[in-house]
């Protein structure tokens, strides 16, 4: 088999050229298939094969080893003298599913993130189109005879007249899908064909939008607000730069009206007949956002997220690719959707870690979209109240245009943030007396209260005071969390579960709980403040379909005055009634081992604080900590976010860490610690030997979670001043190590621009 295994993506050029004749007189094509292959495979196309012609971006059926596979054509290839190639069995699509810009982005993405090309290309297709599923549907075409018959009034039967009439209004002689021709029942079609008035044909199923099954809801019934000066200035700046590639960082405090800035620019692009792609970290957490877009704009957005059925996803994806949907709102995987008429890209909450894919193809949607915006030569807006240090640095150094919104748009004040020193305080379920008094005061004043605790379950551990036993996961280096509602111990890393032991398994003393989870906090507050209504927002409490939406609605209606939750609270909700936000503990984030700890801490604190005081009533934020003098905390409270980030940048420069260096993490795991350590030691050794000058290689060190699901995890951090040096080193690993397939059940992967060192 003529594999181009390990071919360098660098060498691929995606072009629309027609292929040279070659490969024994017929055209040759590079085809990619899912699997651990860094390149594609060459096949030829016999001209006597019936069906549509091959083109880049269409699916094909190919012989592969002893079996058959579905692949995607990447590009034409020249005949390599004397090379034997196998023939394509069938071309599956009339029209390319992926256009040349999108293919180019996928080729770049595979090379940049060091992931197998076929996997990358197939991950960009909706699941329904990763197999052989045909998009061809029967269609009718009006013949010359049919036109004459219609004109001369010779057609009898109103159904036949209707069908021919509809076909006659089509431009050119384009065939029309039977499904689009009401009245074209099988007998009517048969009669028309018998008369010679129509021909039967096949076309690609039309990708209309919105789908006919869409529920009618009001669209565009809300007028835009009058923009304030800062919003106006932001919109004008982007407008005046024109419809060419430029990256804009819109840094606007929570509630400053960033969304209105997006909406104004989106409206302009839509009015110019262009498409807009909006990518957000999580859609299910922000149903308000979609609703707002629908009410403000006159088009119905196509929405792309993981909660859709395969069919829904395919319909939305195709409508965007075909250009019939002008606005698409999606989560990170929407970063690869083909755009027929690109005009503008918006990435909201650009700092959010959810924009980075954490398994398989480890891309960052924001970075992919910046690449695409440049390729398509259109503007891209990155928005956040707490931008990533990466983006801030680009803005500070002039590579991104920096726009700031410093005031809340509604006229509300930013909430005041204060620390509560909880050293030696008598705590009640994790809540200090001072916080308890504040909660009471706000509730009695008619406000709503949100309490943030980034740990679900009842208690993060069960311990024995007599002998020190702690209930741990048998497969991970982690404690088991007690979930009292279901009375089980659960591992949050591997999903292991067990019944709660009645007593300490080693000394038979009774067990007690240690630490706080959201379940316990909910219990404590419900007992202390009965009658105020309480809602818990975490993964356990919102698992059922529709539960999250109902909980959010209860908060919005004011039925729940107390809200307890994890990270879920942090994401962009707009609840005007919230006047107090309490952070149960800042300590875990302040003392995180990841070098991004301080950055993450500042981001989540300001994001959760931003939920307070969004309307007339002023907001208050109270942060409990054992270390009120922590420099990151004091700097954030006295000098603000930019000051924290400037200090962070100086520290990263000193420590030679991203974003001042280019980084990749090589992760490996195996059932034996020795094997995985030895494997990474060898990789590190090779790199130091061959690329020592250009790189620093740290490790191997155990991952922060050193054992997970029974596998030992180690990692190697590679840092370089020059990006190309980093990639050269990674290619070296791919070629030297990847092709050799390390034994002993070692799994390994490369994470370029890692954002989570866990
Ligand atoms: P952000 O996206 O920055 O958090 P939003 O766009 O959600 O801010 O705006 C916050 C609140 O202020 C929303 O309720 C919004 O309707 C309102 N708002 C935004 N811009 C204006 C404006 N120019 N005039 C009045 N209200 C506004
Ligand atoms: Zn576990």
Residue 81 is classified by DSSP as T
Q: How far is CA 546 from CA 287, 485, 540, in A?
A: 11, 20, 13
**Greatest alpha-carbon span in the chain:** 101
Q: What percent of the chain has pLDDT over 70?
A: 93
User: Which residue from 457, 460, 465 is spatially nearest to 504, judged by alpha carbons?
Assistant: 465
Q: Give the residue whose CA is nearest to atom 26 of ligand 1.
A: 410
Band of pLDDT at residue 11, cut at 50, 70 and 90: very low
Q: Determine the Cα–Cα distance for residues 623 and 434; give it in Å rounded to an integer.
A: 11
Band of pLDDT at residue 215, cut at 50, 70 and 90: low
How far is Cα of residue 414 from the mean position of the Cα atoms in its chain? Answer: 30
Show Cβ contacts of residue 85 under 8 Å, excluding neighbours closer than 6 positions: 2, 23, 28, 42, 43, 44
Q: Is ligand 1 within 6 A of the CB of residue 257?
A: yes
Task: Outline where 242-286 has alpha helix (H).
Answer: 258-271
Res. 268: pLDDT tops 50: yes
Q: Is ligand 1 within 6 A of the CB of residue 576?
A: no
Show Cβ contacts of residue 697 under 8 Å, excluding neighbours closer than 6 positions: 684, 687, 688, 716, 717, 718, 719
pTM attached to this predicted model: 0.89
The string of pLDDT tens digits covering residues 172-194 is 778 888 888 888 888 888 888 99
Band of pLDDT at residue 25, cut at 50, 70 and 90: very low
In DSSP terms, 625 is beta-bridged to 421
Task: Outline where 573-672 has alpha helix (H).
Answer: 587-590, 597-609, 631-639, 641-655
Is residue 504 within 8 A of residue 466, CB to CB? The reply is: yes
The token pair that represents 16 in the structure block: 């629309």
Q: Is ligand 1 within 6 A of the CB of residue 751?
A: no
Band of pLDDT at residue 286, cut at 50, 70 and 90: low
Q: Determine the Cα–Cα distance for residues 49 and 168; give it in Å rounded to an integer.
A: 32
Q: Which residue has the higher pLDDT, 397 or 291?
A: 397
In DSSP terms, 626 is beta-bridged to none
Res. 47: pLDDT tops 80: no
Burial group, residue 372, by CB count within 10 angstroms (0-12, 13-18, 19+): buried
User: Which residue from 357, 363, 361 is spatially nearest to 119, judged by alpha carbons?
Assistant: 361
Q: Is ligand 1 within 6 A of the CB of residue 22?
A: no
CATH match for 3-129 among 3.40.50.970, 1.10.1740.10, 3.40.1440.60, 3.30.43.10: 3.40.1440.60
Res. 100: pLDDT tops 50: yes
* Radius of gyration of the chain from its Cα atoms, rounded to whole angstroms: 30
**Ligand located closest to 252 CA:** 1
pLDDT of residue 288: 76
Q: Which residue has the higher pLDDT, 741 or 70?
A: 70
Q: Which residue has the tokens 């109240």?
A: 385
User: Which residue from 363, 301, 309, 359 is spatially nearest to 332, judged by alpha carbons?
Assistant: 363
Q: Is ligand 1 within 6 A of the CB of residue 383?
A: no
Q: Determine the Cα–Cα distance for residues 527 and 428; give it in Å rounded to an integer.
A: 11
Q: In 3-state terms, what secondary structure has residue 375?
A: helix
Q: Determine the Cα–Cα distance for residues 106 and 121; give it in Å rounded to an integer.
A: 6
Class of domain 416-458+516-649: alpha beta
Band of pLDDT at residue 743, cut at 50, 70 and 90: low
User: Which residue from 199, 268, 12 is spatially nearest to 118, judged by alpha carbons?
Assistant: 12
The string of pLDDT tens digits covering residues 687-741 is 998 877 889 999 899 988 888 999 999 999 999 999 999 999 999 888 777 655 6
Task: Report residues near ion ligand 2: CB below 5 Å.
Answer: 473, 475-476, 491, 493-494, 496
Strands (E), 218-335: 246-252, 275-279, 302-304, 327-330
User: Rounded to a whole number, what is the distance in angstroms from the first to the last CA of the chain?
Assistant: 40
pLDDT of residue 544: 81
Q: Is ligand 1 within 6 A of the CB of residue 384?
A: no
Q: Is ligand 1 within 6 A of the CB of residue 228?
A: yes
pLDDT of residue 26: 55
Average pLDDT over every residue of 68-86: 85
For all residues of the chain together, what is the average pLDDT?
88
Q: Give 703 Cα–ligand 2 centroid separation in angstroms.
A: 15
Q: Determine the Cα–Cα distance for residues 671 and 353; give it in Å rounded to an integer.
A: 29
Q: Is ligand 1 within 6 A of the CB of residue 231?
A: yes
Q: Determine the Cα–Cα distance for residues 244 and 386; give it in Å rounded to an integer.
A: 26
CATH match for 229-405 among 3.40.50.300, 1.10.10.1100, 2.40.110.10, 3.40.720.10: 3.40.50.300
Q: Which residue has the higher pLDDT, 681 or 469?
A: 681
pLDDT of residue 669: 93
Band of pLDDT at residue 5, cut at 50, 70 and 90: very low
Query: Closest ligand 1 atom to the C-alpha of 261?
Result: 6
Which of 259, 352, 578 is the best mutation target for the ligand 1 pocket, counting ligand atoms within 8 Å of the beta carbon and taking the most? 259
Identity of the highest mean pLDDT range in 496-510, 590-604, 630-644:
630-644
Q: Give the residue whose CA is nearest to atom 4 of ligand 1.
A: 255
Compute the residue count for the chain. 758
Is residue 326 within 8 A of residue 276, CB to CB? The reply is: yes
Class of domain 662-752: alpha beta
Average pLDDT over every residue of 91-106: 95
**Ligand located closest to 227 CA:** 1
Which of 231, 254, 255, 287 is the best mutation target for the ligand 1 pocket, counting ligand atoms within 8 Å of the beta carbon and taking the most? 255
């Amino acid at each position: 088999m003529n594999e181009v295994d390990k071919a360098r993506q660098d060498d691929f050029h995606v072009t629309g050229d027609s292929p040279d004749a070659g490969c024994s007189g017929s055209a040759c094509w590079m085809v990619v298939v899912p699997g651990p292959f860094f390149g594609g495979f060459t096949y030829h196309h016999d001209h006597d094969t019936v069906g549509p012609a091959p083109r880049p971006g269409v699916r094909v059926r190919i012989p592969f080893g002893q079996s058959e596979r579905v692949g995607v054509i990447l590009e034409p290839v020249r005949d390599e003298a004397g090379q034997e190639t196998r023939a394509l069995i069938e071309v599956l699509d009339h029209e390319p599913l992926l256009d040349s810009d999108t293919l180019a982005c996928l080729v770049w993405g595979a090379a940049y993130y060091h992931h197998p090309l076929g996997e990358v290309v197939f991950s960009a297709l909706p699941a329904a189109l990763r197999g052989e599923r045909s998009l061809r549907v029967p269609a009718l075409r009006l013949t010359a005879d049919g036109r004459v018959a219609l004109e001369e009034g010779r057609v009898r039967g109103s159904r036949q007249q209707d069908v021919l009439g509809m076909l006659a209004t089509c431009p050119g002689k384009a065939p029309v899908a039977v499904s689009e021709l009401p009245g074209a029942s099988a007998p009517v079609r048969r009669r028309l064909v018998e008369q010679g008035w129509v021909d039967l044909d096949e076309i690609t199923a039309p990708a209309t939008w919105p789908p006919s099954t869409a529920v009618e809801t009001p669209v565009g019934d809300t007028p835009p607000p009058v923009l304030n000066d800062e919003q106006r200035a932001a919109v004008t700046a982007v407008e005046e730069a024109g419809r060419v590639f430029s990256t804009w960082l819109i840094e606007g405090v929570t509630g400053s009206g960033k969304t209105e800035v997006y909406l104004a620019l989106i409206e302009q692009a839509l009015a110019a007949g262009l498409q807009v792609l909006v990518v957000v970290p999580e859609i299910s957490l922000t149903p308000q956002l979609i609703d707002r877009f629908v009410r403000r704009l006159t088009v119905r957005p196509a929405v792309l997220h993981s909660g859709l059925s395969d069919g829904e996803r395919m319909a939305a994806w195709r409508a965007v690719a075909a250009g019939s949907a002008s606005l698409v709102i999606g989560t990170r995987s929407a970063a690869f959707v083909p755009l027929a008429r690109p005009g503008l890209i918006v990435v909201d909450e650009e700092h959010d870690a959810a924009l980075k894919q954490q398994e398989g193809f480890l891309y960052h949607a924001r970075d992919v979209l910046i690449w695409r915006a440049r390729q398509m030569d259109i503007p891209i807006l990155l928005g956040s109240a707490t931008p990533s240090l990466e983006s801030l640095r680009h803005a500070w150094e002039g590579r991104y245009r920096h726009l700031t919104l410093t005031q809340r748009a509604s006229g509300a004040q930013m909430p005041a943030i204060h620390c509560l020193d909880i050293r030696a305080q008598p705590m009640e379920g994790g809540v200090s007396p001072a916080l308890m008094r504040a909660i009471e005061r706000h509730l009695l004043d008619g406000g709503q209260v949100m309490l943030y605790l980034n740990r679900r379950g009842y208690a993060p551990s069960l311990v024995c005071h007599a002998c020190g036993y702690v209930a741990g996961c048998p497969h991970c280096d982690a404690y088991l969390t007690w979930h009292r509602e279901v009375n089980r111990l659960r591992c949050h890393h591997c999903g292991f579960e067990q019944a709660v032991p009645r007593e300490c398994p080693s000394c038979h003393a009774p067990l007690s709980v240690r630490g706080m989870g959201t379940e316990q906090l909910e219990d404590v507050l419900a007992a202390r403040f009965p009658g105020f209504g309480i809602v818990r927002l975490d993964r356990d409490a919102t698992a059922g379909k529709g539960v999250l939406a109902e909980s959010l609605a209860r908060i919005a209606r004011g039925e729940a005055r107390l809200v307890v939750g994890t990270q879920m609270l942090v994401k962009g909700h707009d609840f005007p009634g919230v006047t107090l936000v309490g952070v149960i503990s800042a300590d875990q984030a302040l003392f995180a081992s990841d070098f991004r700890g301080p950055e993450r801490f500042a981001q989540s604190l300001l994001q959760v604080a931003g939920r307070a005081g969004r309307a007339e009533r002023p907001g208050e934020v109270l942060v409990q900590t054992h270390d009120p003098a922590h420099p990151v905390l004091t700097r954030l409270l006295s000098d603000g976010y930019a000051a924290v980030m400037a200090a962070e940048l100086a520290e990263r420069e000193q420590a030679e860490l991203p974003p001042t260096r280019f980084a990749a993490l090589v992760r490996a795991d195996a059932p034996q610690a020795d094997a995985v350590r030895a494997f990474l030691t060898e990789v590190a050794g090779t790199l130091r030997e061959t690329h020592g000058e250009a790189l620093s290689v740290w490790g191997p060190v155990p991952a922060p979670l050193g054992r997970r699901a029974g596998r030992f995890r180690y990692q190697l951090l590679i840092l370089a001043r020059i990006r190309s040096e980093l990639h050269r080193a990674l290619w070296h690993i791919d070629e030297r190590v990847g092709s050799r397939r390390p034994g002993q059940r070692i799994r390994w992967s490369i994470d370029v621009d890692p954002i989570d060192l866990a």
